[in-house]
Structure 1
Amino acid sequence: MQDWNSRQYLMFANERTQPAIDLANRLMGMEARRVIDIGCGPGNSTAVLAERFPGASLLGIDSSPAMIEAARAACPGAEFQICDAGRELPALGDGFDVAFSNACIQWIPDHPRLVRDMLGLLRPGGVLAVQTPMNYEEPIHRIIGEVTASAEWRDYFPNPRIFFNLTQPEYFDLLAEVSSGFAIWETTYIHRMSSHEAILDWYRGTGLRPYLNGLPDAKKPEFENEIRRRVIERYPARPNGEILFRFPRFFFLAYR
């Protein structure tokens, strides 16, 4: 699988960063000396943390060298390192006041273990703050699932993408078991997209990436054309030409 494309990801930097801002705002009034950004991507969430916790020691981790390179350029006051959050978090030690993760954990398996590992990074009383997309019922996800499972395309994808998120009740039960206190909530963002092509551009940076990487170059335009055709059908343009693009996201805070 090819590495993440930070430039593609940041085409919608404002929209992708807003959930990180909203999550950080739930930490208002909290003091922090050490903060870790798990799955920091190109550093947009780390910059939010730098503003929220001025003077704190910030560590951003990501498994993508391209994202880490972009993050170092975007947030030079923080430390960044390549780290596989699914396997290597315990090696980072503990003592962090805040462990923060914006739109990362959906790519990592075994969330019962992952949440325990993230809580293990904290000092007693520290807080874990997480946001993960939960937009599986939205048209774009249904379209990708339909196309990749169709007779024309399924042979190219012998190992369909697995979504690792738990259900909201499962997160409730897990957090009740492993934390000293927690809060969960969901926010649906309604983005104003300038065109149907903008929706494809958004997903080229995330949800379509594993499928495009698995296709021969000659087949990619045909595959995208089929996705585009269905997007046009199921996301009607408004009278002013814009498209409403709903994006539900799930949040939780948990305390060690």
Structure 2
Amino acid sequence: MQWDSAAYLQFGAERTQPSVDLVKRIELERPRKLLDVGCGPGNSTQVLADTFPNALRIIGIDSSPEMIETAKGDHPDMEFRILDASALPSLGENDFDVVFSNACLQWVPDHPRVLRDMLALLRPGGVLAVQLPMNYEEPIHQIIKGLAASDDWRAELADARTFHTLRQEDYFDILAAETGGFQMWQTTYLHRLPSHEAIMDWYKGTGLRPYLSLLSEDRARIFERAVLEEIVKRYPKQRNGEIIFRFPRFFFTASPKA
């Protein structure tokens, strides 16, 4: 599945805000070596660089060549590598002060293993900081899931990539067993979008891609129209014509065991 950095960055400010909020909870005065797991086009990596200007090295990794190409072009002074988050031991480095990941791990299977791998990259006293979308009960996901399972689409979309996010209770148990201490919280962002079409544009950059990638061009357009019709029904307009687009996100920070 290919990623489109331009589509992703169409809502760059909204997608970057959780990184800004997460990095504020990293309670280290002068971290020197940082890793951004699932850096995308480099917007979250830039947040790390702006917050910790004295850092000696900040490395961004992503499995998407398209995203890494954009990141290198937009941030030529930073270090980026193509690497899947499920293969962190192959990075060949450790002793990071911070391992950071914003809206990436939902695409990666086996979170107990991945989180152990992330913690293993930290030096003693380092910080793991993670944000995951937790919006699967919101209308947009229910619309897409329901259509994909319907008679009209089931045969074509049966192999659509699923998200790997666990329950918050599961993350609690993993972190309680694997870390020296942790904090968890959730924030629901109320994004102001100008139209129902803007919700479609948002999801064509992320959550719709596993579905659209399995369809022909004509069938993809039909599926998009079907999704938009349901969006119009489920997301009412405000008096000024804008749409409130709710987006819950789950955060945690943790430190490795001593």
Shorter-chain TM band: over 0.9
CA distance in 1, matches of 2:16, 2:91: 28
Displacement of 1:73 in angstroms is 1.9
CA distance in 2, matches of 1:109, 1:223: 26
Q: Does 2:204 align with 1:204? A: yes
1:99 aligned counterpart, secondary structure? strand
Partner of 1:7: 6
Partner of 1:33: 32
CA distance in 2, matches of 1:29, 1:64: 30
Contact 1:125–1:255, Cα closer than 8 Å, also in 2: yes
Contact 2:26–2:253, Cα closer than 8 Å, also in 1: no
Letter in 1 for 2:153: W
Which aligned pairs between 1:28-107 and structure 2 lie closer than 5 A?
A: 28-56=27-55, 57-107=57-107
Return 5+ residue gaps in structure 2 as ranges: none
Which aligned pairs between 1:1-256 and structure 2 lie closer than 5 A?
A: 1=1, 3-56=2-55, 57-256=57-256
CA distance in 2, matches of 1:199, 1:31: 39
Cα displacement string for residues 23-47 of structure 1 (whole angstroms, at most 9, x for unaligned residues):
0111255320100000000000000
CA distance in 2, matches of 1:29, 1:210: 37
Return 5+ residue gaps in structure 1 as ranges: none
Q: Scaled by the length of structure 2, what TM-score is found?
A: 0.96
Displacement of 1:91 in angstroms is 3.5
CA distance in 1, matches of 2:221, 2:93: 46
Contact 1:90–1:121, Cα closer than 8 Å, also in 2: no
Number of aligned pairs? 255
What is the Cα-based RMSD across aligned positions, in Å?
Answer: 1.0
Percentage identity across paired residues of the two chains = 56
CA distance in 1, matches of 2:166, 2:76: 34
Letter in 2 for 1:158: A
Displacement of 1:90 in angstroms is 4.7
1:70 aligned counterpart, secondary structure? helix
Q: List 4+ stretches of structure 1 deviating above 6 A.
A: none
Letter in 2 for 1:163: F
Letter in 2 for 1:137: E
Letter in 2 for 1:117: D
Cα displacement string for residues 188-244 of structure 1 (whole angstroms, at most 9, x for unaligned residues):
000000000000000000000111111011111111110000000000101100000
Displacement of 1:12 in angstroms is 0.1
CA distance in 2, matches of 1:143, 1:43: 30
CA distance in 2, matches of 1:5, 1:110: 25
Displacement of 1:165 in angstroms is 1.1
